[in-house]
Amino acid sequence: MKCAVIDLGDETVPVKGTLEETMISSGRSPDAYIFLIKGVPVPEDTVPEEGTVITAIRVASGG
């Protein structure tokens, strides 16, 4: 059984729960990322299917 993972570019993180929960438990702010599955944006509360690779793109915000 392959678990879903979040690909951060330089690291992959196994998904446990929602994308938001996974990022928080790994010490990252989920609000700082856009999540994509097969190039399509998905919300932070997504619980991906096993074997899914989620691409996380860090975004900058502010003024």
- pLDDT value of residue 29: 95
Q: In this structure, is residue 63 part of a structural domain?
A: no
Q: In this structure, is residue 14 part of a structural domain?
A: yes
- pLDDT value of residue 57: 97
What pLDDT digit, counting tens, does each position of 18-58 carry?
A: 999 999 999 999 999 999 999 999 999 999 999 999 999 99
Q: What residue type is 39 in one-letter code?
A: G
Q: In this structure, is residue 11 part of a structural domain?
A: yes
The tally of domains found in the chain comes to: 1
Edge-to-edge order in the sheet of strand 40-42: 12-14, 5-7, 53-58, 33-37, 40-42
Q: In this structure, is residue 38 part of a structural domain?
A: yes
Under the banding of pLDDT at 50, 70 and 90, the label for residue 60 is confident
- Expressed as residue numbers, the domain containing 36 is 5-58
Q: State yes or no: pLDDT of 1 exceeds 70.
A: no
Q: How many CB atoms lie within 10 A of CB 39?
A: 6
| CATH number, domain containing residue 38 | 3.10.20.90
